Each structure stands twice: as C-alpha cells, then as structure tokens.
Amino acid sequence: MLGGMAPFPVLLLLFLLVPLAEIYFLIVVGGWIGALPTVLLVVATAVAGASLARHQGFATLQRLQATIARGEAPALEMLEGVLLLIGALLLLTPGFFTDLAGFVCLVPPTRRWLALRGLQRMIVPPSAPGSGPLGPGSGSGPRTLEGEFHRDDD
C-alpha cells in the first residue's frame, strides 16, 4: 500500500487522474506540434517500446535460464519479467506519462533497481524466537488454545 492508504482509493485515484493528465498533455503537445505529429509520436513510442520490450524480454529469459541452470532461485529475473510486461503494456497505452513509466520499466538499469527494491520489500527477515507476528510464542511452533466447545444441532 502507498503511504498506508487502502489500495482501492489509490487505484481509483490513478484510474481517474492518469487518463485526465494524459488527455491534457496530448492536447497541449498537439497544440505545440500539431495533431498529426502528436499521433505519430504516440505511435512511434508504442512501436519503439514493443521492440525494446521484445529485445529485453529475450535477454531476461536468457538470464532466467542461466540462473536456473546454476541451481539458483530466479526471483530477480522473474520480477524483471513482470516489469517488462508492465512496461510493454504502458507503452501500448496512448499518452506521455504512461510512455515514460513504460520506458522506466524497460530500461535495464531502472528495471533492475525497481526489481531489487521489490525483492527487498518482499523478503521478510527471520524473527527472533518467540517474537512472531501473532505475539510472544507465535514463532516457536504450534500453540494450543484452551477453551470450551459445544455443538448446536438445529
């Protein structure tokens, strides 16, 4: 979650603000360089992005295969693959903000940095014995909860 906010409001905000910003900047750029050059620029970024995504996808697949052949877990390569897919989809979406975000996901140094950050957020360090997420004793194996039980047959 971003800054402790619930995911639904954040996604709703993104789905409202991103298209509005994209439309605004398409109109502004169209006013500067004309409608046809703006459309051609959007199409050119989609074509360039698809080509880059294909090239980077094959390179990532080769690294993934090499990592598996060494007997290592390919977590970084798998995250990079997800970022490549996201980047390609963003580049196919018309607009300048989505193109920028797409290229960030496709360029190897920024993609690797994002993947490493994602891995850091996913890896949970081992906790000290007896200090699990459920309180004292939760990290030390099975627990017995005492209580009473009865069945109501209706």
Asked, for residue 16, whether it belongs to a domain, the answer is no
Give the per-residue pLDDT at 1: 45
For 33-82, write each residue's pLDDT tens digit: 999 999 999 899 888 888 888 888 888 888 888 988 888 888 888 898 88
Dist. CA 28–CA 39, nearest whole Å: 13
Tell me the average pLDDT across 131-140: 50
At 24, the pLDDT band (50, 70, 90 cuts) reads very high
Dist. CA 85–CA 92, nearest whole Å: 11
In which domain, by residue range, is 70 found?
44-121
For 83-134, write each residue's pLDDT tens digit: 998 998 888 888 888 989 998 998 889 999 999 898 888 876 655 454 445 5
Give the per-residue pLDDT at 139: 52
Asked, for residue 48, whether it belongs to a domain, the answer is yes
Tally of structural domains, the chain? 1
Give the per-residue pLDDT at 127: 54
Asked, for residue 9, whether it belongs to a domain, the answer is no
Asked, for residue 135, whether it belongs to a domain, the answer is no
Cα separation of the two ends of the chain: 44
